[in-house]
Amino acid sequence: MDSAPVTGEQGREAAAAPETALAAAVPNPLAAWEPQARAFLLASKAVNTLRAYRADWNHFTAWCVAHEQASLPAVPETVAYYLTALAGSHKPATLVRRLTAISKAHQAAGHSSPASSQHACVSEILKGIKRTVGTAQPGKEPLFTVEIRKMVDTLPPNLQGARDRALLVIGFAGGFRRSELAALDVEDVAETGDGLVLALRRSEDRSARAGK
What CATH number is associated with residue 15?
1.10.150.130
* Sequence-separated contacts (24+) of 192-196 with Cβ below 8 Å: 196/170
Domain that holds residue 116: 9-133
What integer pLDDT is reported at residue 7 of this predicted model?
Answer: 44
pLDDT tens column, 45-79: 666 777 888 899 999 999 999 999 999 999 999 99
Average pLDDT over residues 29-44: 64
Q: What is the number of structural domains in the chain?
A: 2
One-letter amino acid of 59: H
Of 88, 113, 133, which residue is a domain's last? 133
Same domain, 78 and 57: yes
Q: What is the pLDDT of residues 88-105, one digit of tens each?
A: 888 888 999 999 999 988
Residue 2 lies in a domain: no
Phi and psi for 58 in degrees, rounded to 5?
-60, -40
Do 100 and 158 fall within a single domain?
Answer: no
Verify that 163 and 113 share a domain, yes or no: no
Same domain, 23 and 81: yes
- Tell me how crowded residue 111 is: count the other CB atoms within 10 A of its CB: 16
**pLDDT tens, residue by residue, 123-140:** 999 999 888 876 555 566
Backbone region of residue 68 per phi and psi (left: phi > 0; alpha: psi in -120 to 50; beta: other values): left
Q: Looking at the chain, which runs of residues are DSSP E strands?
A: 189-192, 195-200, 206-210
Q: Report yes or no on 3 lying in a domain.
A: no
